[in-house]
Amino acid sequence: MARERFFLELDPPDKSLKPLPHVVIVGGGFAGLQACHALINQPVRVTLIDKRNFNLFQPLLYQVATGLVPEADVATPLRQMVGQAPNVQVLLGEVTEIDAQARQIVFNDRQFAYDHLILAAGSGSSYFGHDEWREAAPPMKILEHADEIRRRVLIALEEAEQTPDPARRAVLQSVVVVGGGPSGCELSGSLMDLMAHALARDFKQLDPNQCKVTLIDPGDRVLRAMDPSLSAAAGTYLESVGVELLLGGRVQTIEEGKVVVNTAAGARTLEAATICWTAGVRASHLGQVLADASGCTVDRGGRVVVEPDFSIPGHGEIRVIGDLCSYSHTSDGKPLPGMAGPAVQMGGWVAADIVAQIQGRQHKAFQFTDFGTMAVLGRLHAVADLRGLKVTGLPGWILWGLAHLMFMPANENRLSLLTKWLWAIATRQRASLLITGRPNQHLKVDVGLEHPLGAP
């Protein structure tokens, strides 16, 4: 029996806003939040819908996972960021259906009408068809994932502190990270620093020299999206601080405490109390929902293939941005990467294009400006490729820090992060080494919600 649905049309606080075109933004990440900011005080009324009530600064999740900063330093309530704008309302909910013909969405079992729809629902983790690995190897996309990784690492070290068996203690002091991209490299470097240095004074029975982090990647180098010279520098640094690089290794099986990897030399079994997954990305399920509703195309990763103005064929009022879109209208024909820089530029451009369309003005075509890529590998060490300028070491770390503080949306968080970074540099102590949460709580959440995986 179908559940009854209610039509939701909230009156804006200011009655003068009611006749204005209604822009609905789904997703409060980099792309959606930037679009919302750009539409403040414009001749539209805006509704921002997200499954969480906060914006998450995903690039620093690894610092939550390794105890450098607490959750509050990388997450800011959406209502504090845009909810006070007179033409913006923020609603908590999960969009489950899209009616492209009627220009309505369904969320929280209610229908909601729009004149313009911006989908910026982001991405989650992909296990390449092996979702059974998730329980043993949590991903790192949302706060619950970072909390789970931190909990597992610290619980293992606490057990190791009380374990007389050297072989068992070695397993408890070992971590395996799957995926040699920026997230995997950053997590590996920070975990090594956490176990070998930050906790050396706190655990009396542990030998820091027995702490081990192994980074697995199927390629011939880490950070394959970066220039080979920077990849080499990154690999050299990680190995210098004790991270073992297992390159050319393809994961065959993952179970609790064990990873089997195929290498050129044959199968290799790694034992570790903590296993982390940073290898795969998939788009939000809303991409397929939109495809089913409109006939648009999604790529193999579930991303919506969009037009030059980020719309879909036959529906100029629907725009898809951020990690959810596949935008190939570039000079080299390669899709824009799922990173903060492109997402922010997409969000700002689409908002300006909608306003221009409403006002009957022409708007210049979207042109992405690539400011480069970077990854922090450890204490005062990073690699950065800034439009051909290749920087490593301390200069790279300074550029990385400035860039991340600039992208951080809340001034309060900028100050808090800078303080904690300086404290960690001076003392090698971590600001948030709390064991919280319940075991395996990450299994009940994915890109953002409270609903168990696979639930309707």
What are the tens digits of pLDDT across the range 257-273? 999 999 988 999 999 99
Residue 9 predicted with pLDDT over 60: no
For the ranges 15-19, 252-256, 426-430, 444-448, the one whose mean pLDDT is highest: 252-256
pLDDT in tens, 363-384: 999 999 988 899 999 989 999 9
The pLDDT, as a whole number, for residue 377 is 94
Give pLDDT, residue 1: 41
Whether residue 3 is predicted with pLDDT greater than 60 in this model: the reply is no
Residues 431, 63: contact at Cβ < 8 Å? Answer: no
pLDDT band at 422 (very low <50, low <70, confident <90, very high): confident
Query: Catalytic residue among 186, 244, 255, 317, which?
Result: 186
Q: Which of 14-28, 120-134, 218-232, 345-359 has the lowest mean pLDDT?
A: 14-28
Asked if residue 405 has pLDDT above 90, the reply is no
Q: When comparing pLDDT for 214 and 301, which is higher?
A: 214
- State the residue for tokens 């005080």: 41
Lowest mean per-residue pLDDT among 1-15, 94-108, 355-369, 420-434: 1-15
CB 175 within 8 A of CB 195: yes
Asked if 181 and 278 count as a contact pair (C-beta separation under 8 A), the reply is yes
Section 54-77 average pLDDT: 92
Prediction pTM value: 0.90
- Judge residue 110's burial from the number of C-beta atoms within 10 Å of its C-beta, 0-12 exposed, 13-18 middle, 19 or more buried: middle
Q: Tell me the pLDDT of the chain averaged across its residues.
A: 90
Whether the pLDDT of residue 336 is over 50: the answer is yes
Q: Which of 206-210, 314-318, 439-443 has the lowest mean pLDDT?
A: 439-443
Reply yes or no on whether the pLDDT at 454 is more than 60: no
Q: Is the pLDDT of residue 46 over 50?
A: yes
Classify strands 311-312 and 315-320 as parallel, antiparallel or unpaired.
antiparallel
Q: Predicted confidence band at 237 (pLDDT cuts at 50, 70, 90)?
A: very high
Q: Which of 22, 111, 116, 79 is nearest to 316 (CA)?
A: 116
d(CA 434, CA 66): 10
Q: What are phi and psi of 11, to 5 degrees?
A: -70, 130
Of 66-75, 251-260, 398-407, least confident by mean pLDDT is 398-407
Q: What is the pLDDT of residue 389?
A: 87
Catalytic: 132? Answer: no
266 Cβ contact list (under 8 Å, min separation 6) = none
- Residue that is written with structure tokens 């990763």 in the block: 301
pLDDT range class, residue 154, cuts 50, 70, 90 = very high
Residue 238 to residue 224: CA distance in whole angstroms? 15
Q: In this predicted structure, what is the pLDDT of residue 13?
A: 54
Residue 455 has pLDDT above 60, yes or no: no
Residue 12 is predicted with a pLDDT of 57
Q: How far apart are CA 277 and CA 307, in angstroms?
A: 33
Q: How does strand 212-217 pair with strand 258-263?
A: unpaired
In the predicted structure, residue 392 carries a pLDDT above the cut 60: yes
CA distance 417 to 413: 6
In this structure, which amino acid lies at residue 324? L
Q: What's phi and psi for 440, nearest 5 deg?
A: 60, 25
Average pLDDT over residues 85-99: 93
Which of 375, 420, 372, 369 lies closest to 400 in space, CA to CA?
375
pLDDT-derived band at 81 (thresholds 50, 70, 90) equals: very high
Question: What does the alpha-carbon distance between residue 183 and residue 172 come to, in Å, rounded to a whole number?
Answer: 22
**In terms of pLDDT, which residue wins out, 276 or 110?**
276
pLDDT at 281 over 80: yes
